[in-house]
Amino acid sequence: MARNLITVFLSLHMCFQLPTLKALVQEEEWDYLVLAQFWPSSSCVYFKESDCVPPQVHNWTIHGLWPSDRATSKQPENCNKSMNFNYDEIKPLRPDLDLYWPYFNKSSKDRTSLWAHEWDKHGTCAYSLPTLRGEFVYFTQVLKLYHQQDLIGALAKANIVPSDSKQYNINDIFNAVNSIYGTSPVISCVTDTKEHYLAEIWLCFEKNLTRADCEESAQYHVASDQHRAERRPYLKFRSEKEQVVTKGKKFVDCPSDLVWYKPITTIYL
């Protein structure tokens, strides 16, 4: 009798244990990295600010480096709560972070909140890779990888330069980046009530940091359209025609033709 009870107890225990262990392992599964960069003046459109670019920022800036999984087209998130963001660890990097990894939300008083978000959500998921393990190491490596890219230069080689008067075809932007790096990016746009702006370019890397094609199915945070509309109310203004390329693929929230790539002229303190 006693032995049977123990057996029952053990089986129940196993039942509850196994799925937990499995879930933990699955959550950490990833096989490539997405380096996402913002075009600052388009970020102001996103935040509905006319001027949101900090001084000294004249270039593409870092959004984040995201462990991602080809098989599931997903990104693991918030992988280890016991590793929550600790500003003191990256304090020595502050001057570089302000320049190359700024947060454009003017109504947020906390300049560290993008870093906290990126670390908690994505950085903690890169733990399995020694070259990205730990907060200081992760931020240092992301800055290093960012400096090895030069999107403004890559686009300029195809005569795609920031302009207040000329719009660019989204396919030309894709082809320019694709031909310079030899791998396909994912490009995303923001849209106000009528205009479209080049918002982000994602470049992808293997775990050893050699270049990789971005997965065309990569979805922006794998969010549903409903969730995206809530996060970005202006999406509600899009017409059906403008949504042609919305479903992940090479473009996210981009129109099929022309977008603005406006100069960074605005400054706030």
Question: Catalytic residue positions?
Answer: 63, 118, 122
| 58 lies in the binding site for ligand NAG (CB under 6 A) | yes
Q: Which residue number, 5 or 25, has a Cβ lying nearer to ligand NAG?
A: 25
Judged by beta carbon, residue 92 or residue 153, the one nearer ligand NAG is: 153
* Contact status: 108 vs ligand NAG (CB under 6 A): yes
Size of residue set near ligand NAG by CB under 6 A: 18
* In contact, 98 and 54? CB cutoff 8 Å: yes
Q: Select from 4, 165, 193, 208 the one that contacts ligand NAG (CB under 6 A).
A: 208
Stretch that binds ligand NAG, among 37-45, 77-85, 219-227, 252-260 (CB under 6 A): 77-85
Closest separation in Å from C-beta 1 to ligand NAG: 39
Are 233 and 201 a contacting pair, CB within 8 Å?
no
- Integer Cα distance of 91 and 136 in angstroms: 9
| Minimum CB distance to ligand NAG, residue 152 (Å) | 5
Is residue 230 part of the contact set for ligand NAG (CB under 6 A)?
no
- The encoded tokens of residue 205 equal 């890397």
Minimum Å gap between C-beta 2 and ligand NAG is 36
Query: Does position 51 bind ligand NAG by CB under 6 A?
Result: no
Minimal distance in Å, beta carbon 66 to ligand NAG?
A: 17
Sorted by sequence, the CB contacts under 8 Å of residue 178 that are 6+ apart come out as: 184, 185
Residue of 72, 73, 105, 217 interacting with ligand NAG (CB under 6 A): 105
- Min. distance of Cβ 5 from ligand NAG in angstroms? 33
Considering the rule CB under 6 A, would residue 219 count as an interface residue with ligand NAG? no
Nearer CB in complex with ligand NAG: 133/238 = 133
Query: Minimum distance between the CB of residue 236 and ligand NAG, rounded to whole angstroms?
Result: 15
What's the rounded Cα separation, in Å, for the pair 126 and 119? 10
The binder of ligand NAG chosen from 152, 180, 222, 235 (CB under 6 A):
152
Binding mask 110-149 for ligand NAG (x = CB under 6 A): -----------------x-------------------x-x
CA–CA dist 115, 86 (Å, integer): 10
Site residues for ligand NAG per CB under 6 A: 47, 58-59, 80, 82-83, 105, 107-108, 127, 147, 149-150, 152-153, 206, 208, 210
